[in-house]
Amino acid sequence: MRAATEVFEGGFSDAVLNSQEVFRALMDAMANPGRAIPSRGLVNAPAPILPVAAAIAATLFDHDATVWCDKPIAGSEAATGWLKFHTGLELTANPSEAQFALISDIETMPSFEVFAKGTSEYPDRSTTLILQIDGFNGAEELTLKGPGIKHIRAFAPSQLPKMFIDQWTANRGAFPRGVDLVFAGKGGLAALPRTTRISKREA
């Protein structure tokens, strides 16, 4: 009974104002790559979806959105039921068809290559990956350059995909095609648009 109840509970208390707040944080993050933007969860979804990621999903997903979820989320009836009830999204098992990907376990996520990268004519027809992480004080610090960054910016998410630098270099090389990333941490979010140049911090 509790699992069924979880599907219907935990949405925005004020759908318009709350979604506007999260959307502004997302736009700020995309305009300032690698900058952690404070953001409240505002919603409570069933595990393994964490509050900030759930708020992003509730803001961006709608009945026109095609979304791929990783195995921990896709395998939870409560989590997928919550997403369907609160957003009306269409789930897909094919990441290359997804407008958005919701990823709770970065360690086991597939390569960026499997997601949609758009076309030269329609680069916006690509996947935005939403990655759940613990926070932005990780051990590995990256150096970011590019649009939205005055000189350089340090970025240290708590988790990164495997072979991240290599994957991102290939993703950037496909510009204007390519995926964009949104990191959903505890109490904040950050973004890496495909235009951002990334390198490991030199010792």
* CATH superfamily of the domain spanning 2-200: Bacterial phosphonate metabolism protein PhnH (3.40.50.11310)
Predicted confidence (pLDDT) per residue in 4-16, tens digit: 577 878 789 899 9
Which residue ranges make up each domain of the chain?
2-200
Asked if 92 contacts 59 with a C-beta cutoff of 8 angstroms, the reply is no
Which of 118, 123, 24, 19 is closest to 61 using CA atoms? 19
- Output the average pLDDT for the chain: 94
One DSSP character per residue, 37-106 reads EE------PPTTS-HHHHHHHHHH--TT-EEEE-HHHHT-HHHHHHHHHHH--EE-S-GGG-SEEEES-G
Burial of 69-103, coded b for 16+ CB within 10 Å and e otherwise, reads bbebbeebebbbbbbbebbebbbbeebeebbbbbb
Predicted confidence (pLDDT) per residue in 42-87, tens digit: 899 999 999 999 999 999 999 999 999 999 999 999 999 999 999 9
Rounded-to-integer distance, Cα 156 and Cα 134, Å: 11
* pLDDT value at residue 11: 87
Rounded-to-integer distance, Cα 65 and Cα 1, Å: 29
Predicted confidence (pLDDT) per residue in 79-118, tens digit: 999 999 999 999 999 999 999 999 999 999 999 999 999 9
Percentage of residues in the chain having pLDDT higher than 70:
97
Full strand arrangement of the beta sheet holding 142-145: 153-155, 142-145, 197-200
Residue 183, SS3 per DSSP = strand
Largest CA distance in the chain: 54
